[in-house]
Amino acid sequence: MHNQDEIRLQQELSQGSEKAFEEVFQVYFKVLTVFSKKFVQDLSIAEDLVQEVLLKLYENRRSIQFHTSLKAFLFQSVRNKSIDYLRSLKSKSDHHDQIKLLTVTESTDWSDTMEQTELEERISEAISALPDQCQVIFKMSRFDGKRNQEIAEELDISKRTVETQVSNALKRLRKDVLPYVNLLVIILSRLFY
């Protein structure tokens, strides 16, 4: 989302616009859920926490003060909500290690995690947009760690077809995630190399 769109949404939210809130929900719900899941390790809980943050935004939309961008505000709110949730589990011994890890991550720059989450979401969408056979071959190659010959035998296609499909997938993914090249090196090294 462009900076001007964020400013417009912030202004419309402060004027009580339900349409602006719906747009915020559509743009940010999924990526915020992925971000929260990194903390709480449970998709259902992450969805609930994000819904709570967005509900609070809606309830306070006329009086809310944005000291940063809308995006940064939402990610910070979800991060805090996720941390609060984990802290509430502190007394349970099976979550003790998670909370120790959280204490360490609290001192790190969470904006890197936010950017990583957005990039992972972008990559997931790009992979989902690949043609069916290309997607299957790419996942077998990069996620399952299968060699081209193994894939060819399993799918009853030529090894050259596998190589071409993997190459096409990589070209498409590089094009689709080009705006995030700096983060690409960090996160995708395990997928592409």
Kindly state whether residues 100 and 130 are assigned to the same domain.
no
pLDDT of the residue at 102: 53
Average pLDDT over residues 158-162: 92
pLDDT of 131 strictly over 70: yes
How far is it, in rounded angstroms, from Cα 25 to Cα 106? 26
Number of domains in the chain: 2
pLDDT tens digits, 18-69: 898 899 999 999 999 999 998 898 999 999 999 999 999 988 888 887 777 8
What percent of the chain is modeled with pLDDT above 90? 26
Q: Residue 10 maps to which CATH number?
A: 1.10.1740.10
Element (H, E) at 15: none
Eight-class DSSP state of 48: H
Kindly state whether residues 101 and 118 are assigned to the same domain.
no
Kindly state whether residues 57 and 42 are assigned to the same domain.
yes
pLDDT tens digits, 74-106: 999 999 999 888 887 754 544 445 544 555 455
pLDDT of 185 strictly over 80: no
Rg (CA), the chain: 20
* Host domain of residue 177: 111-192
Across the chain, mean pLDDT equals: 79
Kindly state whether residues 19 and 90 are assigned to the same domain.
yes
Eight-class DSSP state of 157: -
Which of 71, 89, 108 lies at the terminal end of a domain, its last residue?
Answer: 108
How far is it, in rounded angstroms, from Cα 26 to Cα 16? 17
Which of 108, 126, 153 lies at the terminal end of a domain, its last residue?
Answer: 108
How far is it, in rounded angstroms, from Cα 28 to Cα 39? 17
Instruction: Please answer whether residues 130 and 169 qualify as being in contact, where contact means their C-beta atoms are separated by less than 8 angstroms.
Output: yes
Which of 108, 123, 140 lies at the terminal end of a domain, its last residue?
Answer: 108
**Confidence tier at 178 by pLDDT (50, 70, 90):** low
